[in-house]
Amino acid sequence: MTKARFDELIHPSTRLSLVATLAAADWAEFAFLKERLDLSDSALSKQLTTLEEAGYVTTERRLSGNRRKLRARLTDTGRNAFNGHIEALKAIVDGATAPAAEPPT
Amino acid sequence: MTKARFDELIHPSTRLSLVATLAAADWAEFAFLKERLDLSDSALSKQLTTLEEAGYVTTERRLSGNRRKLRARLTDTGRNAFNGHIEALKAIVDGATAPAAEPPT
DNA sequence: GCGTTACTTTCCCGACGGGAAAGTGAGGTC
DNA sequence: GACCTCACTTTCCCGTCGGGAAAGTAACGC
C-alpha cells in the first residue's frame, strides 16, 4: 500500500483531474486530455510542463496516422505521488468520520 | 446519498482540513482548530470568515470557564457541501481506476 | 519556401493565501 | 471608571498561481 502523502502539486483541481485521467490511461493524447478536461491549449500545455518538471509525467511525440501527436503518461513517481495523495485525502475524510483525536507529534 | 459536487471553496487544502475537522466534531473551538491545523490566528480567522460568508459555518461566542471562546460548527449547508465534495473527489479517483469513458454532456 | 497543424511560450491579469501588525470588544482588575 | 488583557479580527502587503490571448516554433505536406 502506498504511504499517505498530501501532494500540493497534484491537489489543485485541474491537476488532480489531469493526473487522475492519466492514471486511468496508459498513454493519453494532448487532444484527448484537452477535451476531457475542458482546458485551453495553453492551460493544458502549462500543466503538463509543470508535471513533467516534477518528474510526474513523461511525454512523447510521434506520428499517429500522418499527424504529429503528443502523448503523455504518468511516470512511476507520478503514480506513486497520486496514490499517496489519494491516501492522504482518505485520511482527511476518515478524520471527518472518526471522532477528533490528537494528531501525532 | 449526497450528490457529487466539486466545491472549489472547500477544495484548497487548508479549508479541506478545516471543514473535515468540523465535520468530525459537533462544535470546535478556535484554539483547538488553530493547533490541530497548525494555523496562525489570522489565517484561521480568515478561513472561518470565508466559510461563514459562504454559509458553511456558524460561530458562537461564549464563556468557557471565565474565558471567552469562539466555537464554530458546520451548518447543514456546509455539511452537504462537504459530503458533495467528497463524492466528487471519489468520482475523480474512480475515474482513475475505471477505464477512461466519455464524460456526460 | 509557404501554409497548416499542434502545441509552447510569453505577457498580462486578477484571485488567493499567509505573515505581521494594528485594531476591536468583552471582561477582569484595582 | 480607567486601564489591561485576552481572544480573536482586520488591514496591509507580498509572493504565488492559474488562465486567457496572442505571438512563437517545429515538423510536415505540398
Q: Looking at residue A102, what is its pLDDT?
A: 44
Q: Looking at residue A94, what is its pLDDT?
A: 84
Task: List the A66 CA – D26 C1' distance (angstroms).
Answer: 16
Of B8, B13, B20, the CB nearest to A93: B20
Strands (E), A1-105: 28-29, 57-64, 67-74
Cell of A39: 482546458
pLDDT digits (tens, 9 = 90+) for B59-95: 998 876 667 889 999 999 999 999 999 999 999 988 7
pLDDT digits (tens, 9 = 90+) for B6-15: 999 999 999 9
H or E element that contains B73 = strand B67-74
| pLDDT beneath 50, residues of chain A | 100-105
Q: Per-residue pLDDT averaged across B5-33, rounded?
A: 96
Name A85's Cβ contacts closer than 8 Å, sequence gap at least 6: A5, A6, A7, A10, A11, A16
Q: Looking at residue B13, what is its pLDDT?
A: 97
Q: Looking at residue B5, what is its pLDDT?
A: 94
Phi-psi region of B39 (alpha: psi -120 to 50; beta: other; left: phi over 0): beta
**CB pair distance less than 8 Å for A24 and B92:** no
Q: Looking at residue A43, what is its pLDDT?
A: 97
Q: Looking at residue B26, what is its pLDDT?
A: 92
Q: What is each CA distance from A101 to A96, B25, B31, B36, B41, in whole angstroms?
A: 10, 10, 15, 9, 21
As a whole number of angstroms, the distance between CA A86 and CA B21 comes to 18
CA distance A36 to chain B (A): 7
Q: Looking at residue B49, what is its pLDDT?
A: 97
Spans of all domains in chain B: 13-89
As a whole number of angstroms, the distance between CA A30 and CA A27 comes to 10
Q: Is the pLDDT of residue B100 over 60?
A: no
Among positive and negative, which fits the CA dihedral A22, A55, A64, A35? positive
**CB pair distance less than 8 Å for B100 and A11:** no
Q: Which CATH number applies to B13-89?
A: 1.10.10.10
Q: Which residue has the higher pLDDT, A41 or B103?
A: A41
Note whether B79 contacts A: Cβ–Cβ < 8 A.
no
Strand order in the sheet with B28-29: B28-29, B67-74, B57-64
**CB pair distance less than 8 Å for A95 and B16:** no
Note whether A21 contacts B: Cβ–Cβ < 8 A.
yes
pLDDT digits (tens, 9 = 90+) for B36-59: 999 999 999 999 999 999 999 999
